[in-house]
Structure 1
Amino acid sequence: MNLRSVVITGVLALSVPVLAACGGLVEPTASPPAAVEGEQAGAAATEAATAVETTASEAAGVETPQPAGFSWTAWVANGMDDSLSVVDLATGQELARIPVGMNPHILTTSPDGSILYVVNAGGHDRDPNAHAEEAASQATPDPHGHGGNGADTAPSAEAGKADEDKADSSMDQPDGTSYSLWAIDAASGQVLVQVPVGMGPTHPIASADGSRVYVTNTDEGSVTVIDTATWGVVTTISDLPEPHDGALTPDGRLLYLATAGTSTLTVVDTESFAVIKTIPVGNKPRGLVAGGVNGELAYVTNKGDGTLSIVDIPNGTVQMTVPVGAGAHAVRLSPDGETAYVSLSQEDAVALVDVQSGQVRRTLAVGATPEQLDLSGDGRWLVVSNNGDATLSIIDLAQETLVATVAVGAGAYGVQMTSVAYAGSTPMALPDLPKNADGYRDLSVEQLAAAMEAKDFVLVNVHIPYEGELPNTDLFIPYNEIGANLDKLSAPDAPIVLYCRSGRMSTAAAEVLVAAGYTNIYELDGGFNAWQAAGYELVSQ
């Protein structure tokens, strides 16, 4: 898998120099960058008295030592770059940039952190100015959850029409690279599987037992339910009004969804897949996290009015509405349940909310247009992806200090932490994928590229006329002559990878071999057209 060079604009304050990704030394900074002072925009923020602070320790330039055994990796989805950045928090290095599908959006992991789930959103919000009109229409919120000038900001018919137009404007069609969930090995970066989902997917939600992943299809108004044992789709839950983020209760019985189309929190029973409750929240909810001992609370960010709703699920009521700031988007909850962290995409900041008092006790400046954020499992580190300037902000929550800014790919959007160290690309065998209905395995470009170094298979070009080939191709056999050339192939149970230009001829050849008793056939999705489109070379004899 090709890994591109990276640029680092900041590193964690360490007592020794660290190696940069390019191999050079980066000298340690004298002290962590202090949080930038400023005022939180909006009357709501003023009333909550949330001016950005600088602590005495920051002013004195106190360095933050790394805790013993510190090891966290942050993954960033670069929507305009069609890639994932892998960042080592201990050094502030971007270790790798891994190609994925079209417009990777939001990330999550399996419960043990070993598998990364990425949603490829296709045409959804692909335009970097996709939120410009929305931002312009959102006047400064007041403390009562209304827009500027005291006007209600409930969803309008025009807003609904705009959302429909956004979905209709997508130029791509559902396939393995767009409108899909990819599972990626967090240690190696190898793509394990691709699962097609609905139109305009945004958020993956993994169950606590690892058995399911739920994907919200925002443009389609549905949720795709995926069984991770088979990677098959269990069902699609329909008639959900613009679902964005979501969360499961610890027992997995209930799924909470931020349904922006009706400005509600929707509760779904995960056994019957029926909607059992809808609870009105603020305008245009986006982020959601579950809290409480048994998931009885939900914290919902409302981007349309700059608030955080704290919801009592059993009673179906909003306990508290907290004005947090313009562009309230993603939310995470501290391990002790006392602090909510909210990204403010229109203020270039993160709000730290005391959920007991309902007050924003501090705001930290980050990069431009922060969309998503995530917490390390120990609650020590907060990472923020900044869509506007393609950076990752790293915050030490022990001192509530911004300690590093790392350059990542264009359109930085989703971000996810894992304790699994990234070991880099290592020789991989062909993945043991499930067979399709025709008896062979569909192989992605990324999966083939990862297996090329180890190469324990026969690679066969079946395209006619000859128009070039992949590196390390073993045989050229016209697709319509494959049945007459079985003697040139490996044993019937040995792995064989077939490809052509687009996939039509290799599909026909695969079907012939399956019918002839071959049991380990792979066919390259998209052929060498897809191989070249992913940035890999084609050679000629």
Structure 2
Amino acid sequence: MTARPRHPAAFLLALALLLAAGCSTADPAPAAIAPVPHAARPVADPGLPGMAPVLDPHNVYAASGANMLSDVARTAKPLVYVPHTRSGDVWVIDPATFAVVAKYPLGAGELQHVVPSWDMKTLYASDDTRHKLTPFDPTTGRPGTPIPVTDPYNLYFTPDGRSAISVAEQRKELVFYDPHTWAVQDVLPTPDCAGIDHADFTADGRTAVFTCEFAGRVAVVDVATHKLLRTIDMPKRNMRMGPQDIKLAPDGSVFYIADSDQNGLWVLDGAATKVERTIPTGGGAHGLYLSRDATRLYVTNRHEGSVSVLDAYTGAPVTKWRIPGGGSPDMGNVTADGTQLWLSGRYDHAVYVLSTVDGHLIHKIAVGNGPHGLCVWPQPGRYSLGHTGITR
């Protein structure tokens, strides 16, 4: 700390200069005290070149708060898109009335997820068996001409928006594309990552972690170079339905990894080097979603028909919501205003709408066969990292 001037007048002058410069003579407060408002200055290190700066090191989702819609997202028609793995169609639901307003047959393939593009201008229905993405215009809710893409079980975008990543589960590959032309940029083989499917990125955007569902491990990838850095085995390698969804804690300190056969979460350190512990949640832990203020983590327990609510920073259990009559809650997201959690009922031809206030079932909607990566649109945030709407 700078020594204070001995003369009172000199001290007062120095203090005035410090305050005018926006500084303080007090010791800096710990980074974890309170979230910085959305309008606060970005942190000094913007992370991956080309990535939008992190606004708050205590909450990387600070730009994705309730109703913080970008100008592009505001043009979208509020709709919920439900892809089906077995009936090969996307159903569209009006969230205001809970009515199915459209059904789009897209072939005989397996439609896995509806994924918002990095710039939020397009939604893509991924079909891994017919190797295509079907773009949807979010301003109309209608599909366009399919795009040939290799085995897109899932789809992500690098935080700088320079690449789309097709998670080619069957091929054990990550295929990097130009997100505008869909020309192949690179192919990264991941031979030790059977069942590669879900991903998230470190707070600085420099590293991606992909789960390997059928290998009981994760693959850690350098985003800029498209290189595999390492694989990390889970302490117990569940290789039938093992690591699936993954979510970065708001402060970037850890990754939460849902493991269906573990009936809970693995906790990976934020640098993606080691597994620190496990958190029991419920039978068939599968999907991970954050509340709009990023204080709560919702874990879908697909085999027991429940949702565990955890503290998003510590992983401590808060409560558990059970779907009346049971169910198979899988993938989905929280509404833009944060009041509802929409989830596909993977094995029950249903979509569930839960209150995020107390977890009660607001509505259950009958849909097609095998509803999977449901997308609630629009979503708050500056850009999308993919999946069913990971935004920052």
RMSD value, Cα: 3.1
Residue 209 of structure 1 deviates from its aligned partner by 4.0
For structure 1, the 5+ residue unaligned runs are: 1-66, 68-109, 124-171, 424-529, 531-541
Structure 2 partner of 1:412: 329
For structure 2, the 5+ residue unaligned runs are: 1-34, 36-71, 341-366, 368-392
Structure 2 CA distance for partners of 1:399 and 1:342, relative to 1, 3 Å: closer
Answer yes or no: is the 8 Å Cα contact 1:244–1:287 preserved in 2.
Answer: no
CA–CA distance in structure 2, aligned partners of residues 189 and 418 of structure 1: 13
Residue 182 of structure 1 deviates from its aligned partner by 2.2
Instruction: Using the aligned pairs only, state the percent identity.
Output: 22
Instruction: Return the letter of the residue paired with 1:402.
Output: P
* Residue from 268, 285, 289 that aligns with 2:200: 289
* Residue from 281, 288, 305 that aligns with 1:373: 288
Instruction: Return the letter of the residue paired with 2:138.
Output: T
Instruction: Return the letter of the residue paired with 1:403.
Output: V
Answer yes or no: is the 8 Å Cα contact 2:197–2:210 preserved in 1.
Answer: yes
* Residue from 68, 84, 87 that aligns with 1:121: 84
* Residue from 157, 161, 165 that aligns with 1:248: 157
Query: Which one scores higher on RCO, CA 8 angstroms, separation ≥ 6?
Result: 2
Structure 2 CA distance for partners of 1:332 and 1:421, relative to 1, 3 Å: closer
Answer yes or no: is the 8 Å Cα contact 2:250–2:312 preserved in 1.
Answer: no
CA–CA distance in structure 1, aligned partners of residues 220 and 292 of structure 2: 22
**What is the TM-score with the length of structure 2 in the denominator?**
0.59
Q: Give the secondary-structure state (helix, strand or coil) at the position aligned to 2:146.
A: strand
Question: What does 1:485-500 align with in structure 2 at a 5 Å threshold?
Answer: none
Structure 1 partner of 2:346: none
Larger radius of gyration: 1
Answer yes or no: is the 8 Å Cα contact 2:202–2:271 preserved in 1.
Answer: no
Structure 1 partner of 2:277: 362
Structure 2 CA distance for partners of 1:269 and 1:117, relative to 1, 3 Å: farther
CA–CA distance in structure 1, aligned partners of residues 117 and 149 of structure 2: 22
- Post-superposition Cα deviations, 1:470-518, rounded to whole Å, max 9, x if no partner, equal xxxxxxxxxxxxxxxxxxxxxxxxxxxxxxxxxxxxxxxxxxxxxxxxx
* Residue from 309, 313, 325 that aligns with 1:394: 309
Q: Are 2:216 and 1:306 equivalent residues in the alignment?
A: yes
* Residue from 126, 151, 168 that aligns with 1:259: 168
Question: What does 1:147-296 align with in structure 2 at a 5 Å threshold?
Answer: 172=87, 174=88, 179-185=89-95, 189-191=98-100, 193-198=102-107, 199-241=109-151, 243-250=152-159, 252-281=161-190, 282-291=193-202, 293=204, 295-296=205-206
Answer yes or no: is the 8 Å Cα contact 1:248–1:290 preserved in 2.
Answer: no
**What is the TM-score with the length of structure 1 in the denominator?**
0.44
Residue 362 of structure 1 deviates from its aligned partner by 1.9
Structure 2 CA distance for partners of 1:272 and 1:369, relative to 1, 3 Å: same
Residue 234 of structure 1 deviates from its aligned partner by 3.8
Query: Structure 1 or 2: larger helix share?
Result: 1
Q: Give the secondary-structure state (helix, strand or coil) at the position aligned to 1:235.
A: coil
Residue 256 of structure 1 deviates from its aligned partner by 1.5
Structure 2 CA distance for partners of 1:299 and 1:398, relative to 1, 3 Å: closer
Answer yes or no: is the 8 Å Cα contact 1:301–1:329 preserved in 2.
Answer: yes
CA–CA distance in structure 2, aligned partners of residues 192 and 420 of structure 1: 22
Residue 251 of structure 1 deviates from its aligned partner by 5.2
Residue 336 of structure 1 deviates from its aligned partner by 3.4
Answer yes or no: is the 8 Å Cα contact 2:292–2:338 preserved in 1.
Answer: no
CA–CA distance in structure 2, aligned partners of residues 377 and 208 of structure 1: 19
Answer yes or no: is the 8 Å Cα contact 1:244–1:257 preserved in 2.
Answer: yes
Structure 2 CA distance for partners of 1:260 and 1:399, relative to 1, 3 Å: closer
Residue 368 of structure 1 deviates from its aligned partner by 0.6
Residue 192 of structure 1 deviates from its aligned partner by 5.6
CA–CA distance in structure 2, aligned partners of residues 200 and 238 of structure 1: 15
Q: Give the secondary-structure state (helix, strand or coil) at the position aligned to 2:287.
A: strand
Structure 2 CA distance for partners of 1:305 and 1:228, relative to 1, 3 Å: same
CA–CA distance in structure 1, aligned partners of residues 80 and 161 of structure 2: 18
Residue 334 of structure 1 deviates from its aligned partner by 2.3
Residue 398 of structure 1 deviates from its aligned partner by 4.0
Aligned length: 261
Structure 2 CA distance for partners of 1:403 and 1:299, relative to 1, 3 Å: same
Structure 2 CA distance for partners of 1:267 and 1:291, relative to 1, 3 Å: farther
Answer yes or no: is the 8 Å Cα contact 2:91–2:100 preserved in 1.
Answer: no
